[in-house]
Structures are given as structure tokens and as C-alpha cells.
Structure 1
């Protein structure tokens, strides 16, 4: 049996070449398994395929868009020199900052990975811990929350999780100005977590509070404004209150996203437009998820 198995799920991104090049020649007691997700089942399913085929006592999950630092394998061994009570050890993630300007909204989202708990950008688990909990929950189809959910089950099964000292660099990949709209699909996954773990699921999984309650208020105010405007006569006057809530809520949301950014016209325009669309999209995906997972 090999001591360490490195599992990398991939959808074929070019960044995989840089990762494999940075790993270099692996020690004799380590193996690398690259799992091509041709069927687009998602990273959770791909990682399950990888660790179930692996032979190592420890399984290290790396995302295909990270670059291990020089000496990563040596530091990995040191990180895994832990007692039998430890079921997982997380590596550190470093995200390069842009030079000469403040980061965009998308860049700040990637920078947030540096503070993420138990994220599989670089996360090692004992094979015994994965076997004990059944691995990743494949109902999570995106690279979103599936790692935090696994970590919660591993700890609930009695294992400890620790942070190590090895480091990977996570470059910010190029994205469309509208990427924040696509990421709202993750609200459906949040609905599954709410169903599985109750109202305090964020605290249980160490996930920071979100803005969904505010998004719901803005969306309700927008719907009430449109409904009142379509009704005849005096109902038009009723629209003033919800319209004010809608406008103020949207303006606050846009300002919170624009203020820390670079402030260039393209970023401001994208933040203004997406800030109008994100609240109803977030609420819509949340409600769709609540319905889909009502019997989970």
C-alpha cells in the first residue's frame, strides 16, 4: 500500500498542466490519480471515484487550478505526521493579489479561499475517515459546500481536523463580468444543507453568514412594487413603500460590492447590473432547492 494518494478531479482545464508540473517527480510511496469528469457529475463524485481507487493510507485532494509550492511533498509528510485521532489536515491557500489596483468582486471571492475551513483546494483525509463516513455527498453537484459538509461528518464521526503548513497558490482564473449570477445556483445546495442540518447549519459547518434574508426582503419588495403598479387606481400609491425598500436595499447591496473594488467604469457597471439581478436569482434558487430537497 502506498502511503499517500493525491487525487485531482478535473474537467480538462489547462491549469492541470501547471499543477502536475509543480508536483514534479513523486516519491516512490506516493501516487497521483487524475479523475477526468467527462460526464460532468461534479467534483464530489469525481473525488469519490479517486479515493475509492486509491491505495494510500492518506488521500490528498487537490483542485486542478492550484499550484503546489516548492517542497510541497516534504511539508505534506510533516503535516501528516499526526496522532491517530486526526482524520484530516488542511493545507494553506495563497491567492495572488492584483498589482496597482484593488481586487474585483470575483477576485475577492477567490481571495476568500485563504480563510476557508477544510476546503479541498488542498485537503488530506485518512482513508479510514473517508470510509467511515462514505466520502463526499454526491448530491452536491458543484464545487460549493461539498467539502465543508464532508468535514462536518468526519468530525461528527469522532475524528479531529487540523491545519497544516504546506501551501498551494490558487491563481484567480479569468471569468465573465456576470459570473456572480451563475454562482447563485449554490443557493440550491444551501437548501439541501438546511434540510440536512437544520436552522443552524451555517454554525455547524463553519460557514459565515450570508445575505439571503436581505435578498428575500429586496425580492419581496420588488414583487410587491410590480404587482401594485399593475393594479388599477389607488393601488399605484401603495407601490411607493415597497419601491423605496427595493431601491434602498439594491443600492446598499451594490455599494457594498463596489466600495472595496477597483472603481473602474466596467467593474462599477457590472456590479450595479448584477446587484439588481442577484437577489431574485438567489431567492429563486433557494426556493427551488427547498422544493427539490423537501424529502431529503
Structure 2
């Protein structure tokens, strides 16, 4: 027997969606051409319709450009590098089935995934607009996880992420799908979930299992991740001050990043002015910046493996992250207020 859990139960919207029999599903996978796509498609296997949306930018089509290598039964669309939100929209709008399942191109659905998906969806009442699969993040054995691995592991407890998320077509049509103002793979799924619930649909969690392997995205991956602060600004603009609580999230470190960056800028400004009093104030601000930076670095180092490589990465990136996070948040606030797209 399949068990679904709901975060909350909503009344069915006006014009209650009918309950389909013999569930028909389209699997939509946006991709930028990662090699992991092959494993994702192989794990889905035969059965449901699969639409892969190639979101590689048009300008990347040079002499060495190659089409995606996918099985012949897979339909490929192109979205021109406009981001995962636009790619998913292109995928679900091209489908005609009553359910659309979104998978990321770096996950591996578990054995029997299609059958488990069918069971998850088969008995859902018409007011349920979405069903999330269980996400498992295997961590390397024999040592404590790195900062990047812990961040990926956090996906296992996240709500309504599109690593494996099925939506009823009527829910997507009622909300217009993903908001394409979200430029990257961050918050666009949470935004859609909030709007689906606001439209009167409930969201549930099913029993199917999907694995999300960890990967090494390089020394500066945690700095690149700070682009998400711009999406946080849009979430606040669209959903209000309490948007984090609405998605079951927790407060970030932005306020501390602002304080750290402010102390660093203050120290530099005072030091440039000359004079004994200004130099003393600059030294005090510099010590505050150093203390805040050290606290941030240790918070990331302490739970990890503490290898020389990891300690060096945490030390360097912990100095860079606060100003970068603040810059992205300012950029996001400007775009959210002016209506410009990223």
C-alpha cells in the first residue's frame, strides 16, 4: 500500500480537477548537457513518455556542437539557454498527459521507479496538485562530509523540489507553470509550490525513491551558489516577508554577511583616511571583520573532514562569500523592484 503525507490539506479549487484513471505521465528533464543525463534516462527506462529539454545556449552551437545523445524514444526540445524554469515550461506545455513529472538531469530514479510513481499518483483525489518523490543523497563512507556534500544532502529534507516532483496538468495550467524570472535552479520550484497551494491544490509526498549523487563542482562552487541570494529577493517580493516559513525553510546568514561586509568596508575606508583616531577605529573594524570571518569559516570547517584541502577551501571562500552574497542580493532587489528579468 502506498502512503502519502501532506504538509497541509487545501480545499479543491473552483472547477475541481477530475480524477484520472489509468494514469498517463510525461517525464520532463531539463538539461545543460551533463554526462549524468544518460544515467537519469536509463533509470527511468521504457514506459512513460520522456521529454528532454536542451537548455544549452544558442551561442554555444559552434563547430564542435553536438546534439544530445539520448535514446530514440526520447523527444528533445530546445529552450535556448533561458534557464531551468523556462526549460520545464517548454517541456510540460509540449506534453498532453494529465500528469507531468519533473526530474533533474543529475538524479537517478530508483529500481521500480515507474511502478512506484504510478502507485503514488493512482489514488490521489482531484484536489491534490502535486506529488514529490523521496530523495536520497548517498554520502561517501568512512569520513565526515564536506561542506558541498552537506549542502547537497540537505536536499533530502527539502519540500517540493523538482529533483523528482510530479504536477497535475490542471495545477500547472492554473498557475501558468514556473516563473521564468528565476534564472537558475534555485527557488523556482519553491515559488511554484506556493502558487499551486494558493490556487487551492494540496501537495503530497509519495513513496518512490530517487537518488541524488553528490558531485565536485570545483573550488569556487560555494561562491557561485551565492547567486541564489538574488532569487531570495524575488521570493520576498512575490510571497512576502514570511516566505521562508511558508516553504519550511530556515533563515540564512545574509544579515551576518551584511555585517561582515560592512565591517570590512568600514576598516578599509577608515584606514584610507589617515590620522591616529581613524587608524584605531579602522583596526577595531578590521578585528570585527576578522572575527566574523573566522566564525563563518569555522562553522563550515567544524562538521567536515578537516583535510588540508577542505580547510583551505573553507578559509578562502569564507572571505569571499559575504560580499558576493550581498552583491547578488542587491542585484536581486533591484531586478525585483524594476521588473527586469535576470
Which residue is equivalent to 1:6?
27
Cα distance in 1 for residues equivalent to 2:196 and 2:238:
15
Cα distance in 1 for residues equivalent to 2:114 and 2:240:
39
Contact 2:89 2:177 in 1 (8 A): yes
Which residue is equivalent to 1:24?
45
Q: Which stretch of structure 1 is more off in the superposition, 173-182 or 48-57?
A: 173-182
Cα distance in 1 for residues equivalent to 2:280 and 2:323:
24
Residues 211-242 of structure 1, C-alpha deviations (whole Å, 9 max, x = no match): 00010010111110111111111211111332
Moved over 6 A (4+): none
Which residue is equivalent to 2:53?
35
Residues 107-166 of structure 1, C-alpha deviations (whole Å, 9 max, x = no match): 111111101110000000000000000000001110000000000000000000001110
Structure 2-normalised TM-score? 0.84
Cα distance in 2 for residues equivalent to 1:68 and 1:98:
19
Tell me the number of residue pairs that the alignment of Structure 1 and Structure 2 aligns.
293
Q: Residue 274 of structure 1 aligns to a residue in which SS?
A: helix
Task: Give the unaligned 5+ runs of structure 2.
Answer: 1-21, 57-79
Which residue is equivalent to 1:216?
258
Pair 1:58-2:102 in alignment? no
Deviation (angstroms), 1:245:
1.7
Cα distance in 2 for residues equivalent to 1:93 and 1:205:
17
Which residue is equivalent to 1:72?
113
Cα distance in 2 for residues equivalent to 1:68 and 1:239:
55
Give the superposed CA RMSD.
1.2
Which residue is equivalent to 1:173?
215
Contact 2:23 2:121 in 1 (8 A): no
Residues 266-293 of structure 1, C-alpha deviations (whole Å, 9 max, x = no match): 0000000000110010001101111122
Deviation (angstroms), 1:295:
3.2
Contact 2:31 2:52 in 1 (8 A): yes
Q: How does 1:138-157 map to 2 (within 5 A)?
A: 138-157=180-199
Residues 58-114 of structure 1, C-alpha deviations (whole Å, 9 max, x = no match): 100000111111110111011112111100000011111112211111111111110
Structure 1-normalised TM-score? 0.96
Q: Residue 129 of structure 1 aligns to a residue in which SS?
A: helix
Contact 1:2 1:31 in 2 (8 A): no
Q: Which stretch of structure 1 is more off in the superposition, 111-120 or 199-208?
A: 199-208
Which residue is equivalent to 2:59?
none
Deviation (angstroms), 1:264:
0.3
Deviation (angstroms), 1:200:
1.6
Pair 1:274-2:317 in alignment? yes
Q: Residue 263 of structure 1 aligns to a residue in which SS?
A: coil
Contact 1:2 1:55 in 2 (8 A): no
Q: How does 1:94-133 map to 2 (within 5 A)?
A: 94-133=136-175
Cα distance in 1 for residues equivalent to 2:203 and 2:245:
16
Contact 2:23 2:118 in 1 (8 A): no
Matching residue within 267, 273, 276 for 1:231: 273
Cα distance in 2 for residues equivalent to 1:167 and 1:202:
26
Matching residue within 243, 246, 262 for 1:201: 243
Which residue is equivalent to 2:64?
none
Cα distance in 2 for residues equivalent to 1:206 and 1:156:
15
Cα distance in 1 for residues equivalent to 2:328 and 2:218:
20
Deviation (angstroms), 1:244:
2.3
Residues 180-214 of structure 1, C-alpha deviations (whole Å, 9 max, x = no match): 11111111111111222222221223322100001
Q: Residue 33 of structure 1 aligns to a residue in which SS?
A: strand
Deviation (angstroms), 1:2:
7.3
